[in-house]
Chains A and B, each alone.
Chain A
Amino acid sequence: MKKIEAIIKPFKLDDVKEALNGIGIKGMTISEVKGYGRQKGHKEIYRGAEYIVDFIPKAKMEIIVDADQVDEVIETICKAAQTGKIGDGKIFVLPVDEVVRVRTGEKGKEAI
């Protein structure tokens, strides 16, 4: 099992969710995060006041899938989240040792 973490542009969230639903991924955890990478923060000056944006708002989604689904999920996210501009985001894949559904105690694949 793998955990896929994708950091994407906030406005792409709905598109990505929909695309993932389309390939049968129904469950995911979504959070509002801030960060920066190549797309640095920036400073805006408007009417003499400085507006400094240190960190850029992003959406983070975490999905647990079976190892053989990883490629499909990554491809789907990339396709849906791409705008071609800087700051489109990143995807991380991490190993997962175990998954347990709290309500039933089911483990592994069953619990995803």
Chain B
Amino acid sequence: MADASFYNKPPAQIQFDGGIVGQTSMLHKVTDQQKTYGLRARKEALDALWKQGVSGHALLKQHTEFIDHHIQNSFDECEAAGKGFSLVALGGYGRKELFPFSDIDLMLLYERKAKKNLEKVADAVLYPLWDAGLEVGHAVRTVKECLADAKADFFFQVAMLDARLLTGSKSLFDELQDKYRRKFIEGHRSDFLREMLEYRAKRQADFGKHAYLLEPHIKESRGGFRDFQAMLWTAQFIFGLHGLHDLYDAGILTAAELEKLEEAYDYLVRIRNRLHYVSCRKNDQLYFEHQEEMARAFGFKNDKSRLAVEYFMRDVYGHMETIRVGTDLFFEHVNEVLDHDFKARDKKVLEPGLEIRHNRIHLASQELLNSKPILMMRLFTQSAKTGIPVHHRTKKLVSANLDLITEKQRHSRRMAQPFWALLTDTNDPLLGLTAMLETGLLAAYIPEFNKVESLAQHDIYHVFTVDRHLLQVIGELQKLRNKERSIFNTVKAEHVLFLAGLLHDIGKGFGTGHAERGGDLARTIGSRMGLSDVEVDNLAFLVRNHLFLSHTALRRDLEDEELIMRCAERVQSPERLAMLYLLTIADAKATGPSVWNEWKAALLQELYLKIALLLEHSDLSEQDKNQGAKLGARWMREKIFELLPHDADMDLAMLPDDYLLNFAPEDVVEHLRHRQGLAKKDILLFHEERQESWSLLLVTRDRPGLLAKIFGVLALHNLNVLAAQIFTWDDGTVIDTIEVSSSISQNYQDQNWQGLARDLDMAVNQRLGLEHRLYKKLAPLRKTIGGTEKRLDAKIEIDNRSSEIYTIIEAYGHDRIGMLYEITRILSDFGINIYRARIGTRADQVVDVFYVLDYDGRKIKDPAFKEELQEGLLYAVSNV
């Protein structure tokens, strides 16, 4: 009683081979308890096989044979089954590919005159299977019923292709096969293909949804078993070819394709085996929770750069991709063979070497490729431009000739030309790029792509593998062209934006820091493709910062002006901001349905607008490479020139860019007029009442310690400094705008403006003893402030991280008249230049922020110097 022992023995002792030929009649007598054992034992038996290294086809075959024996025995022992019956296996079971928990598809074929025995035979065959808890798909039919059902139900018609006689009457089975062939196959090939393609399209629509990309369905998803089987069924139906090797012999598959497809199929078989085992049921979807366990079972291990599950899923996606591409090409071929109108009816030459035939783009001849490898690139550009797919044989030709793309080609600007056109100047860049990726041309042209091909990301956000995600981003960018038209128009270097989209995740697959690494890789790629230095910088910037806006929008207080200013400094120009914003949206949209929503869009837009408005009104870059600022400054100079009297002899080049971008043209003209006044006076003061503050404009000539002197005089006149902007023209003219308020609540009219102008003049001419005057003024105040207690509030922070250009010094101290004077005087002593100052008061605490560079125009980095400066400033803020 081998079968009973099979169900009871511990797994290690199970002989799961042809030796099991016991009396299956015992099977339906097993008790409930034994049944549960049976199921568990079956699972363990399969596991034991797995551990012995039996997997893939071998496992399926052994499983099939095991079930065959049982069923054949039940049937053979039933006397009533002696005549007029055949037992037929269908579907996967018919193909001898029985997965651990797959349905066992059985059909009991009978002759009408044997009908009286039907019930007995069916009971004898089916009960044992049911009792063992197996999933059985069963039917009883006569030949006539069979043909009628096959006509009505396409699935059954297809299942009949795999029909296999298990036992019983051979003549009856042969009769069915013969009639089936005559009725459905001969003369019906086109109908079959049409139905098969409809079914395929529907399945692709159903299982192409996002959820199935993240958790692929091994059977139904694109590149799954169904795609593979559909190919083999069709090959059998249309050409009478059985299996992959026949397809190879017939010249439909190349040797390389055959090998890859076989390998991919075997991998899927192993996955499905294991998946059934892991999930203890007929489950064909690689759910998230199974992926890690599966990865371990397949022997993958976590390492520094990637998780085991990411290695595993990369293999899964890679093999499914092989089947997807392979079967797509096959169906294109079949379609063409059966399409009688096809024979070279219409032919349109697109350009020398490329032509459209029957709505597919072809290479005119293979020989052309050797002399003009650029045709490979142009092929996909034309496809993206026209929206017409590349013919499958031409695609195969490209795949076979990838070695023509050499290092020289990768550096060639001529080669880059059609690639730029594909990215930025076609209606359907995704179509061209997808074909480029699938043929391998993309990775041949940009070898860095190899690393991210089929690379999975084990999280619930990324529904695509990295390579597909990168392509999707291009598709999304293309859509944004219309949706965000006004922002898109800000972008002049579109090709840089699109290339950044294509490369933004290129640094993935090496562990953390993918954006940084990606930035470096993008730099290499951009230079190789012949981008200018500025373009390469922008490209690297976009890749490196592609998460910056979304992180900031979600995690930072957008009402914090300092933050917006730091963002603006980082981004530097409106064009870069627009590119980064568009890239951020496209990236989020292409990641998956859970990533982008109106809620996030609103936050991101708010951040974008705030930075954009700031960038429009100020320039934050000292660097010449800042293209946007350059353009803005040039525009300003043109405007100013128009406004000036024609006889004016002005050299506008002396006005620094960052100065120009902070003022309206009219203001600058005004300043230029003021400058002439400096011939008579050493410092000019203009004041104006604003809503919240008084605005001062000071025009003078640069001299050492100027700012300290100004702040000192302001303190002397009871003026609190709220904000200050400091500009120096190339000819030494200083334009300072300072926002102040009265520290003693004076009215604007009552303020002694003349006295202020006089003292300023004396101070810049070294004729005012600021030090002792301030000391005297502050003396009475000094007593009222508790010394040590307030000292605790004082703090100096020297920050080199927040701004890319400047060192930011933050001085915290108890608010006190004259403090700003002392701070700036100390900075001046240290030879430090102040580029921007922001003075904020919180209750009675002052936070002064200075954007500074050292004497040589560099950040303050030397630790010893930093410490000395810190001590000096700390003394100033805590010296009450």
Contacts and interface: CB of A to CB of B under 8 A. Distances in A.
B555 A46 contact: no
Interface string A36-52: 00000000101111010
Contacts of B609: 44, 46, 51
Contacts of A14: 555
B603 interface: yes
B628 to A, nearest CB: 13
Contacts of A83: 557, 559
Interface stretch (B262-270, B328-336, B594-602): B594-602
A9 B602 contact: no
Contacts of A51: 605, 609
B486 interface: yes
A34 B599 contact: yes
Nearest to A32: B599
Nearest to A34: B599
Interface string A1-41: 00000000111001000000000000000001110000000
B348 interface: no
A9 B486 contact: no
Contact of B602 (A47, A48, A55, A85): A55
A49 B486 CA distance: 7
A49 to B, nearest CB: 4
Contacts of B201: none
B554 A11 contact: yes
A42 B598 CA distance: 16
Contacts of A44: 609, 613
Contacts of A32: 597, 599-600
A53 interface: yes
Interface string B713-733: 000000000000000000000
A74 interface: no
B556 interface: yes
B79 interface: no
B598 A11 contact: no
A26 B283 CA distance: 34
Interface string A45-88: 01111010101110000000000000000000000000101000
A53 B606 contact: yes
B675 to A, nearest CB: 33
Contacts of B612: 46-47
Contact of A11 (B486, B487, B555, B599): B555
A34 B613 contact: no
Which of B555, B602, B606 has its CB near the most chain A CB atoms (within 10 A)? Answer: B602
Nearest to B599: A32
A57 B557 contact: no
Given A47-B490, A51-B609, A57 B559 contact: no
Nearest to A54: B602
Contacts of A33: 599
A56 B602 contact: yes
B605 A53 contact: yes
Nearest to A86: B559
A66 to B, nearest CB: 31
Contact of A46 (B556, B559, B603, B613): B613
A85 B486 CA distance: 32
Interface in B603-617: 603, 605-606, 609, 612-613
Contacts of B557: 9, 11, 83
Contact of A34 (B486, B556, B598): B598
A47 B559 contact: no
B604 to A, nearest CB: 10
Nearest to B552: A11
A48 B603 contact: no
Interface in B556-594: 556-559
Nearest to A87: B559
B486 A10 contact: no
Contacts of A9: 557
B486 A47 contact: yes
Contacts of A49: 486-487
B351 to A, nearest CB: 39
A79 B260 CA distance: 61
B599 A57 contact: yes
Nearest to B578: A47
Nearest to B555: A11
A45 to B, nearest CB: 9
B577 to A, nearest CB: 11
A57 B603 CA distance: 7
A33 B600 CA distance: 10
Nearest to A58: B599
B9 to A, nearest CB: 36
B599 A48 contact: no
A83 B603 CA distance: 17
Contacts of A48: 486
Contacts of B554: 10-11
Nearest to B489: A47
Nearest to B609: A44
A10 B556 CA distance: 9
A12 B512 CA distance: 26
A32 B600 CA distance: 9
Contacts of B603: 10, 57
A110 B48 CA distance: 43
B671 to A, nearest CB: 27
B559 A85 contact: yes
A53 B607 CA distance: 12
Contacts of A85: 559
A56 B603 CA distance: 8
A56 B605 CA distance: 11
B559 A53 contact: no
A34 B606 CA distance: 14
B805 to A, nearest CB: 25
B144 to A, nearest CB: 53
A78 B416 CA distance: 57
A27 B297 CA distance: 34
A51 B486 CA distance: 11
Contacts of B606: 53
Nearest to B556: A11
A56 to B, nearest CB: 7
Nearest to B490: A47
B532 to A, nearest CB: 26
Nearest to B597: A32
A34 B599 CA distance: 7
A53 B601 CA distance: 11
A85 B555 CA distance: 17
A53 B602 CA distance: 7
B19 to A, nearest CB: 45
Contacts of B597: 32
A85 B600 CA distance: 21
B740 to A, nearest CB: 25
B602 A57 contact: yes
Interface in B270-328: none
Nearest to B574: A47
Nearest to A14: B555
A55 to B, nearest CB: 7
A46 B578 CA distance: 12
B32 to A, nearest CB: 27
Given A32-B599, A83-B557, 16 more contacts: A11-B556, A11-B557, A14-B555, A32-B600, A44-B609, A44-B613, A46-B613, A47-B487, A47-B490, A48-B486, A49-B487, A53-B605, A56-B602, A57-B600, A57-B603, A83-B559
27 contacts: A10-B554, A10-B603, A11-B555, A11-B556, A11-B557, A14-B555, A32-B597, A33-B599, A34-B598, A34-B599, A46-B609, A47-B487, A47-B490, A49-B487, A51-B605, A51-B609, A53-B602, A53-B605, A53-B606, A55-B602, A56-B602, A57-B599, A57-B600, A57-B602, A83-B557, A83-B559, A85-B559
Interface of B: 486-487, 490, 554-559, 597-600, 602-603, 605-606, 609, 612-613
Interface of A: 9-11, 14, 32-34, 44, 46-49, 51, 53, 55-57, 83, 85
The 7 closest A-B pairs by CB, nearest first: A49-B486, A32-B599, A57-B602, A44-B609, A57-B599, A57-B603, A11-B555
